[in-house]
Amino acid sequence: MKIKVMIVDDQPILAEGIRSVLSNSGEIETVGVAKDGADALEKMEKSLPDVVLMDIRMPNMNGVVATGEIKKRYPAVKVLILTTFDDSDYILSAINNGACGYLLKDIGAAALIDAIKNACAGDTILPAKIAKKITDAAKNVSADREARIRRAFGLSDRETEIAVMLTEGFNNRQIASALGLSEGTSRNYISAIYMKIGCDNRADAVAKMKEALSS
C-alpha cells in the first residue's frame, strides 16, 4: 500500500516541484496539495493522508499552528516540516506542536522520499543541522540556573542539564536529540530526577524546580 502524502505550501511552483519528486517513488502517492494550514484542514476532512509535508510561513494559518491542529484532530497523521527556515524557535515550536521531524528544502529528492518513509514508520526526522540548532538552544541556559538546581536537589551533572531543559519546556524527544541520547535513556534520567526531587510527574517536578530557581 502506498504512503499517502499531503503537501502544504503557499508557493504553487514549489508544491508542484515536490509533487513531481514524490511521483518518482512507486511507494508514495500525493493525495492533496494545500496552500496553507486552514486549506489543509479543510481538505483533510475529505482525504486523510498518512504524512503531511508542512511549510512554516504561510498566510491564514501557519505551519506551526496547523501542525498542532492536525495532531489534535488526527493524532495518527505524521507531520513533517519542510521549509527554508532553520530558526531554532520555529524548530522547537513545530516539534512541541507534534511535528515528527523538521527538514530544509535544500534536501535531495532521495533523502526526502526516505524521510517520508521513515516518518510514516514512526521515526523522528532531525538532520544533523537541525539537531545542532536544538543543541545550541539547550546550551543557552545559564550556568547559574544549573548551579541552583544542582544544589537544591543533589543532581548529577547530566541530571542537572536535563532538569534545566525540562524547566525550559523541552520534551523527551528534544532532550534526547540535543544530548545525543536514546529516548529510553532520556526517560531513565528524567525518572531519576523525579525521584530525587520527590515528585512522580513532570508538572509537579517542573513547578518545584522553578520554585527553587526563584528563591
* Residues 102 and 159 both lie in one domain: no
* Residues 63 and 160 both lie in one domain: no
User: C-alpha cell of 108?
Assistant: 535531495
* Residues 21 and 109 both lie in one domain: yes
**Per-residue confidence band for 67, with pLDDT thresholds at 50, 70 and 90:** very high
**Is 51 within a domain?**
yes
- Confidence check: pLDDT of 143 > 80: no
- Confidence check: pLDDT of 141 > 60: no
* Residues 109 and 183 both lie in one domain: no
**Is 133 within a domain?**
no
CATH number (domain holding residue 117) = 3.40.50.2300
**Is 65 within a domain?**
yes
* Residues 46 and 117 both lie in one domain: yes
Residues 6+ apart with CB under 8 A from 53: 5, 6, 7, 8, 9, 18, 80, 82, 116
Domain boundary among the residues 97, 125, 153 is at 125
The chain-wide mean pLDDT, for the chain, equals 90
* Residues 95 and 147 both lie in one domain: no
* Residues 28 and 68 both lie in one domain: yes
In whole angstroms, give the CA distance from residue 146 to residue 201. 20
Is the distance from CB of 58 to CB of 38 less than 8 angstroms? Answer: no
- Confidence check: pLDDT of 215 > 90: no
**Is 132 within a domain?**
no
* Residues 118 and 179 both lie in one domain: no
In whole angstroms, give the CA distance from residue 109 to residue 208. 47
- The average pLDDT across 50-74 equals 94
* Residues 163 and 118 both lie in one domain: no
User: C-alpha cell of 128?
Assistant: 544533523
* Residues 148 and 71 both lie in one domain: no
In whole angstroms, give the CA distance from residue 209 to residue 25. 49
Domains held by the chain: number:
2
Question: Domain span at residue 149?
Answer: 141-214
- The average pLDDT across 196-208 equals 93
DSSP 3-state of 27:
coil
Domain boundary among the residues 100, 125, 150 is at 125
**Is 134 within a domain?**
no
**Is 130 within a domain?**
no
The overall pTM is greater than 0.85: no
**Per-residue confidence band for 96, with pLDDT thresholds at 50, 70 and 90:** confident
* Residues 198 and 162 both lie in one domain: yes
